[in-house]
Structure 1
Amino acid sequence: MGSGPSCESPPVENPFTEDSVEARLYETIAQLQSPRTVSEIAARADCDRQTVREYLQSFVSLGVVIKHRNEPPTYERNDAYFEWDTVKTLAHEHSLAEIEEHAQTLLERIQEYQDRYDAETPDDVADTTAESAEADLAGWRAARSELRRYEQARQIRLSKSENSA
């Protein structure tokens, strides 16, 4: 499948007017953890099935959802779209200095985990240790994921600086 659920997904900001059909569908899609039919999405969003079907086609075109052509067709959120949207928002809402400062904080946090567990990544931690350190490993993975987003936002900011110079 294209996206699949992710415990590392960032919070999603809804770009549509509050309480519009688009907003309800977008919010519903953002919360999907697995593929759903039009009927299931319509029930969750409290919308007419035909209206949902029409908007889902637009959302597929925009890359917000992935359509699976089973019978009946199912739709799932495209985590890559939401990830990229988060990166663009970070780059837009924060200065280069703020992005770099937060990235440095994340790098330090990751280094602390690496030192504590004598491992390069959470996946390198021994299974016996992993069971007792589940919360740390989840925090470590989250910090690595967040750092990737901040590094991408930094690249956007740097390219904007170069283009305006």
Structure 2
Amino acid sequence: MVEPFASEDMFTGPPVDDALIAETEKRLGYRLPSSYLDVLRRTNGGSLRRRRCPTSFPTSWADDHFEVRSLIGIGGARGIDSNGGHGSKDMIAEWGYPDIGIVLFDMPSGGHDAVMLDYRECDGDAEPSVVYLDEDRVPRRVARDFAEFLGLLVESGDSRV
């Protein structure tokens, strides 16, 4: 796998271990996808090298894509599990996102759109799908799981988009 991170940033959390994972899952009420945890064990969040996600639908960004800025890690003041205005639950409440899972990315729009893990159809050992929420707050599936989502991302100047 190509290293997805360009650098650490305010969304980079502390080193990940089993205790932090268990605490985060308990706080959020969801089991985190193994593909997400594999990435976090190497680097717990940060700015991404590849940020553009092609879509088959128009977004507030463009006719054929949206962009993410940073993957949000776990733990720390700005992890997906944090309290105090920066965690996933806080973002769902503040921005009126549907309560379907976990907000995973910092977006260039500052909250007007989001990328989330969608747990609505998740049962057993299945991993949640990844959805994009635009200003209309309608979840649109962009990948069957987190690993597929990372594989979709391209650099902003990439001609594949």
Shorter-chain TM-score category?
Answer: under 0.3
Scaled by the length of structure 2, what TM-score is found? 0.27
More strand by share: 2
More helix by share: 1
Scaled by the length of structure 1, what TM-score is found? 0.27
Compare relative contact order (CA 8 Å, sep 6+) and give the higher one, 1 or 2.
1
